[in-house]
Structure 1
Amino acid sequence: MRILLTGATGRVGQYTLAHLAAEGHTVLATDVRPPPATAPAFPANVTFVTADLTSIPAVDSLFDAAKADGVIHLGAYPMPLPGLDDRELHNNNATSSYNVLRTAVDRGVTRIVQASSVNAHGLSYAPPGHTKFDKFPITEEVERRPEDAYALSKHECEIQADSLVRWAPETRIASLRFHMCRPDYETSWPDTRALDLFAWTSYDACARACLLGLTSEGWSSHEIFNIAAPTVCWEGNGVEEADRRKVGQSGEGLKLPTTLELLKRHWPHPYEVDEEYFAKNPRGTIWVSTKAERMLGWKHDV
C-alpha cells in the first residue's frame, strides 16, 4: 500500500513509520521538522519530505508525490506547550487536519486515519472543575464538552471527518482517540494523573491501530475509536517498590486500589457506573477500547 504519513518525526509518528516500513508499505513521510541528525537512515520503502500542513500548496505537493492509497494524519500539536498561543495551537490543528483530509478526499483516497484524542471530550486542559462525565466507563458515544483550545481542535477534527464522509460517501475515516502515549507501562505510571482518569497507551499499540485503521475490513463512513490499555495506570500512594513490581499492571494480590475505588477517591462529580463492567474488570480501564478490538481487530497487548 502507498501511504502518506504526516507527523512522522513525532513520538507516535516515529513508531508508526517504523511499523509501516516493517510491514512492507511504501511510505511518503512528512513533518514540519526534519528527522534529527542522529536518526538512522530510512529504509528503501520510505521517503521523507519536510512540509507545513497549513500550506495548501505544500499539501498539494505532498499528494502529488505520494500517489497514496491511504493517509495517516498525525501531524498536529499533541498538547498545549509552554509559550504556545492557544490560537496558534487551535488554528494549526484544525487547519492542517482539514487540509490533509479534504485533499485526500479530492484526490480519491478512500481510506484515512487521523489522530484524535481522549481530550476531544474536554479533559486534561479544561479549567479546574469543568471536566464532567455522566457515566463510567467511557465509550466513544459519550458527549463531547470541549472548552480549551486543544480539546476544541480535536473535536473539530472529528466533525470535519463527519462532514467529509457525507460529502464523499465512499470515503472511510478512522479517528483514533489516543490516551497518554508512552513506550511502556513502567514509563507511564509515574506521569498518571487522576484528572486524566488513569489511562495510557503504548506507542506500539498506537502504530498498530493506525495501520489497522487503513487495512481492516467490514466498516465504512467515519468511526471514532478509543485506543487505550485495558487496565488502569495507577500505582497509588505508599506502594513499596518491591510490592509494585510484584503487582504490575493487573493489580492482583495487592495494595493497589480498584478502578471504582480510584473514582470514588479522586472523582467527586456525580456519575453513573456500569457495575457489571467493573465487577468483571476490577482494575479495568475507564476508557474502553472494545469497539477498536471488534471493528479493527486491534489489541493493546500482543
Structure 2
Amino acid sequence: MGKKFDKILVTGAAGRLGNFVVPLLTELGYRVTGTDQVPYHPDSANAKAHVPFVRADLTNLGDCMRALTISEADAVVSLGAIPGNSELQPPYAKQYDLMSGETGARFSQRMDEDLTMRVNTMGTYTLMDAIRRLGKATRVVHASSFFVLGLGFRLSGDPYLPVSLPMDEKTPLEPEDTYSLSKVLGEEILHAFSRAYGIETVAMRLLGVYYHDLEGSRRQHKFGITVPANPDPAKGYPNNSTYQYADARDIARFVALALEADLVSKFEPYFVATDTKYKETTAEVIRKRWQLLDKPGFVDAIPESQGLISIAKAERELGYKPAHSWRTDPDKDNVIVE
C-alpha cells in the first residue's frame, strides 16, 4: 500500500531533532524540505545529504506560506520551537536556583523574556494558519512536551500531584510556567484547526529527548542509575523529571508512524518515551523518591520499571515500539551506567 503523503515540510530542521527526523523520512521515501531560522550546520546530516532548505521565521505568515509553497508539502512535521523558559524574573530565578543547587544563581539574558510564548504559541498559530490558507497539507505532526501536565516549574510552590497513575493522555493539564503553558496552547491551536478545518493533527508529548551521538546529552542522561532517596517526604513529588527519556531515533520512528496512521480523531495527543533511566522498579522509586505518591492504587499501578507516564496509547493506536532502550539496545552506544 502506498504512503498517504509524499512531500513533507519539517520545521526546526536545522536543530538536533531535525537531524534525526529528516534522514529517516528521506530513507523511507518521502521528499523532504527543511525550514528553520538558520541554515543547516555544514557538518550536520541534513547538510551532508543536501536536503532542500527554505529559511523561514515561523511567526511570519509570509515566510510560512513561502516554505509550504516551495516544498509543495502535503504534510508538515512541526519541530521548530524554543525548548525552555526565557524569563529571568524572580519566580523563575528561584526555580533556576533549585535546578542548579545554588542560591542566587544568575543566568545571562540571551533571549527576549517573551520569546518562548511568542515563538511557541504564535509560531504554531501562524504555521497552522498558513497551512489552512494554502489548503494542501492535510496532516501536522507537532512536537509538544510532557510538561503540559504541570511537571515544569511550579511557580506557586504547590506540588504537582497526579490524580492517578500511570499518567496518560486523559490526565488533567495543570501548567504554571511559560514553556509548559506555551505547549498547552500549542495543542489547543492544533485542536482548534482540526475542528474548524479538518486538518489532522498529532501532538507528540516528548519526554526528555536523548541524543546518543551528542556528548552533552550523554553527560546529562545517565542510565542504569539508582535513584537518590528524597530526605524530605513533604517534597516527595515528581518535578521537572519522571526519570523517563525519549531517544531521538525512537522519536523519528514515531513521526513516521504518525504520518501514516489512521487516526482515531482529527486531533490526537500521544506521550512519546523510550524507557526509564533507573534499574529499580518504579514502586521502589516511588517509595523512596516520590513519597506523596506512595498510596494504594498508585504505588502498585505501574509494573516493573515502566514509567510514571504511560505510552500505551501510542503503542496501541500507532504500533509504536521503542527500539533504543539502554536495557536492550544491541549496539550499546547510548548506555551510560553509573
Cα-to-partner distance string for 1:159-211 (whole Å, 9 max, x where unaligned): 11111111013x21100000111134966226999631110000001111112
User: Percent identity among equivalent residues?
Assistant: 26
Structure 2: gaps of 5 or more residues = 1-5, 87-106, 229-237, 325-338
Structure 1: gaps of 5 or more residues = 235-250, 252-256
Q: Contact 1:232–1:286 (CA<8 Å) still a contact in 2?
A: no
Partner of 1:65: 70
The question of 1:123 aligning with 2:151 is answered yes
Q: Contact 1:206–1:227 (CA<8 Å) still a contact in 2?
A: yes
Q: Secondary structure at the match of 1:134?
A: coil
Task: Pick which of 263-272 and 131-140 moved more.
Answer: 263-272
Distance 1:100 1:272 in 2: 45
Q: Which amino acid aligns with 1:208?
A: R
Q: Contact 2:191–2:267 (CA<8 Å) still a contact in 1?
A: yes
Partner of 1:178: 206
Q: Which amino acid aligns with 2:297?
A: V
Aligned residues: 276
Partner of 1:197: 242
Q: Contact 1:28–1:66 (CA<8 Å) still a contact in 2?
A: yes
Q: Secondary structure at the match of 2:244?
A: coil
Deviation at 1:65, TM superposition (A): 0.6
Cα-to-partner distance string for 1:116-168 (whole Å, 9 max, x where unaligned): 00011121323344423221211011000011000000000111111111101
Q: Secondary structure at the match of 2:222?
A: helix
Partner of 1:293: 315
User: For residues 50-89 of structure 1, what are the structure 2 equivalents within 5 Å?
Assistant: 50-80=55-85, 83=109, 84-89=111-116
Q: Secondary structure at the match of 1:63?
A: helix
Cα-to-partner distance string for 1:44-64 (whole Å, 9 max, x where unaligned): 6x3012211111111111111
The Cα RMSD (Å) is 2.4
Normalising by structure 2, we get a TM-score of: 0.75
Q: Which amino acid aligns with 2:19?
A: Q
Q: 1:267 aligns with which of 287, 290, 293?
A: 290
Q: Secondary structure at the match of 1:61?
A: helix
Normalising by structure 1, we get a TM-score of: 0.84
The question of 1:221 aligning with 2:266 is answered yes
The question of 1:136 aligning with 2:194 is answered no
Distance 1:42 1:272 in 2: 54
Q: Contact 1:86–1:149 (CA<8 Å) still a contact in 2?
A: no
Task: Pick which of 144-153 and 31-40 moved more.
Answer: 31-40
Deviation at 1:42, TM superposition (A): 4.4
Q: Contact 1:136–1:272 (CA<8 Å) still a contact in 2?
A: no
Q: Secondary structure at the match of 1:155?
A: helix
Q: Which amino acid aligns with 1:233?
A: K
Distance 1:65 1:42 in 2: 21
Cα pair distance change 1:97/1:262, threshold 3 Å = same
Moved over 6 A (4+): 190-193
Deviation at 1:273, TM superposition (A): 3.5
Cα pair distance change 1:214/1:105, threshold 3 Å = farther
Q: Contact 1:174–1:222 (CA<8 Å) still a contact in 2?
A: yes
Q: 1:43 aligns with which of 15, 40, 49?
A: 49
Q: 1:14 aligns with which of 7, 10, 19?
A: 19
Q: Secondary structure at the match of 1:173?
A: strand
Distance 2:245 2:113 in 1: 25
Q: Contact 2:283–2:299 (CA<8 Å) still a contact in 1?
A: no
